[in-house]
Chains A and B, each alone.
Chain A
């Protein structure tokens, strides 16, 4: 009986929700600022990938 000390617990659902929100935010930040038609093919591919990732995260 010397006292009980506990740290906070992290609800897995809340943690997962926060991670999804962070992913969405990060993916959103990767969105191209230039119009697609003025991008180089490499930039366009990267932009399309980022957009796809963003949409996938939105659906999770």
Chain B
């Protein structure tokens, strides 16, 4: 099942330029469709996917299969890359030559051997929400806004939030008026 949760793909843009209108959906038992849209990075670089992309996945009979989907470009031409590899101790992901990643759209998930329908698997995808979380959402995330307006982990000193599920990417929640 395609989903997005806090610390698992769902992030708030805060006061940054981060935005993403690209959506991923399951369009057949073993098929994912990446709908056209635009990703804007915090540094304002954008990747616009003009056409939908459809990927058919297959499960191996013996080994689990790892899969992830990224948006990026090759020599400035935007595209999406669906990477798969067998988890057999040998195979590695095989990026296209010259691949320049913009962002991961579907975080690495594992297809067990013999799988015939992806709906049984949790597939976490990128979802960028505008602005800041409201107080209730912040409480659920274990963060709070300090008196100085900065966002911090509840009960801890001001700082950034580390999300290990996102490859140790550091997300900074900026206070109003701050740009980056």
Query: Which residues of A are in contact with B by a Cβ distance under 8 Å?
Result: 1-11, 14-15, 18
Please indicate the chain B residues that have their CB under 8 angstroms from the CB of A2 in the complex: 51, 53-54
State in angstroms the CA–CA spacing of A1 and B49 once bound together. 8
Interface pair B82/A7, CB less than 8 Å apart: no
- Chain A contact residues: over half helix, strand or loop, or mixed? mixed
Please indicate the chain A residues that have their CB under 8 angstroms from the CB of B90 in the complex: 10-11, 14-15, 18
State in angstroms the CA–CA spacing of A11 and B85 once bound together. 12
> When each residue 32-69 of chain B gets 1 if its CB lies under 8 Å from chain A and 0 otherwise, what string results?
00100000000000000111011100000000000000
Give the nearest-CB partner of A14 in chain B.
Answer: B90
Q: A1-B49, A5-B84 are in contact. Are A10 and B91 (CB under 8 A)?
A: yes
Q: Known pairs A3-B54, A6-B93. 7 more at Cβ < 8 A?
A: A3-B34, A7-B91, A10-B92, A11-B90, A11-B92, A14-B90, A15-B90
- In chain B, positions 69-109 with a C-beta closer than 8 Å to chain A are 77-86, 89-96
Q: A8-B93, A18-B89 are in contact. Are A3 and B81 (CB under 8 A)?
A: yes
- Between A5, A7, A9, A15, the greatest number of chain B beta carbons within 10 A of the residue's beta carbon is seen for A5
Q: A10-B90, A14-B90 are in contact. Are A4 and B96 (CB under 8 A)?
A: yes
Cβ of B74 to closest chain A Cβ, rounded Å = 8
Cβ of B108 to closest chain A Cβ, rounded Å = 13
State in angstroms the CA–CA spacing of A36 and B97 once bound together. 57
- Between A7, A8, A15, A18, the greatest number of chain B beta carbons within 10 A of the residue's beta carbon is seen for A8
State in angstroms the CA–CA spacing of A1 and B48 once bound together. 11
State in angstroms the CA–CA spacing of A7 and B80 once bound together. 15
Interface pair B95/A5, CB less than 8 Å apart: no
Interface pair B53/A8, CB less than 8 Å apart: no
